[in-house]
Amino acid sequence: MNMGYTPSEIASRYAETGETKAKRSAAQLAVLGLLAGAIIAMGCAATNTAVYGVEQVWTARMICGLLFPFGLGMVVILGLELFTGNSLMVISLLEKRCRLGKLVRNWAIVYVSNLAGSLLVAAGCAWFGQMNYSGGQLAVYTMKVAAGKCQLPFANALVLGVFCNVLVCLGVLMAMSAKDTAGRILGAFLPVCYFVLCGFEHCVANMYYIPAGLMAKAVPEYAQLAAQAGVDLSALTVSNFVLGNLLPVTIGNIIGGVLLGGAVWFCNLKKS
């Protein structure tokens, strides 16, 4: 019994999936994008909670790598709209199964919806006590992570974004290779595990990580704890979030996804 699809079948299936995504109404894209953003954000909150007390960086990354990928698995299984994965819609565009205008429309609505879902979760965690673990040390760790991301040089954030979305989109395609739920989750798991271990940059994940730090910084008790711990929060600003991290990471994510999608189309679907 054949338990999976061939590379050509995977590419063809995604071309059909991308066509469906392009035809969805704005309301459907907004709701599915909101849910996807919230699920990814909850995965970020879970990983921060799991490792805030771990001192060794390699141990923390390993734990995050084992936990975070299940978020993408849930997004894929539920058919939600995730901006980074939707960069693969270039396959549908090259197959002439959707127009450029429809692709850009999908990306724009899903991006904003992912951001909204992530911000809702960040606000809930920062302002309603989720970060109170160990007397607020989870909040301190959240701010430290956010400040570190805001200090990335533009070029570094862009290149790490490229690498990240190559792996995320590989996860999406590998999930489509399986015919059963367990296989789809495992297919999504491994590439995402790699990007988390390597510390690559994912724009939707950063829509939680950095705003959660910004919102925690706005809580006086948390800000005082960070100062006592010697955490420098000077780089943790809205402008550094938007222009210093989100912009280059988003550009890098698009480049990575489009390059992979184009390569998959060229090698499997392009007519000679």
Confidence of residue 176 (pLDDT cuts 50, 70, 90): very high
Tens-digit pLDDT profile for residues 98-134: 999 999 999 999 999 999 999 999 999 999 999 999 9
Looking at residue 19, its pLDDT comes to 97
Query: Once rounded to an integer, what is the mean pLDDT over residues 145-152?
Result: 97
Query: Is residue 82 pLDDT above 70, yes or no?
Result: yes
Residues 167, 81: Cα–Cα separation, whole Å: 17
User: How far from 181 is each of 4, 9, 23, 150, CA to CA, in Å?
Assistant: 12, 18, 25, 37
Query: Is residue 85 pLDDT above 80, yes or no?
Result: yes
Query: Is residue 1 pLDDT above 60, yes or no?
Result: no
Tens-digit pLDDT profile for residues 154-169: 999 999 999 999 999 9
Query: Is residue 179 pLDDT above 90, yes or no?
Result: no
Nearest to 204 by CA among 151, 172, 245: 245
Query: Is residue 270 pLDDT above 80, yes or no?
Result: yes
Query: Is residue 232 pLDDT above 90, yes or no?
Result: yes
Residues 62, 213: Cα–Cα separation, whole Å: 22
Tens-digit pLDDT profile for residues 234-268: 999 999 999 999 999 999 999 999 999 999 999 99
Query: Is residue 194 pLDDT above 90, yes or no?
Result: yes
Tens-digit pLDDT profile for residues 24-66: 999 999 999 999 999 999 999 999 999 999 999 999 999 999 9
Of 272 and 164, the one with more pLDDT: 164
Looking at residue 41, its pLDDT comes to 98
Looking at residue 4, its pLDDT comes to 82
Tens-digit pLDDT profile for residues 128-138: 999 999 999 99
Summary mean pLDDT of the chain = 96
Residues 115, 36: Cα–Cα separation, whole Å: 10
Neighbour count for residue 105 (Cβ, 10 Å): 16
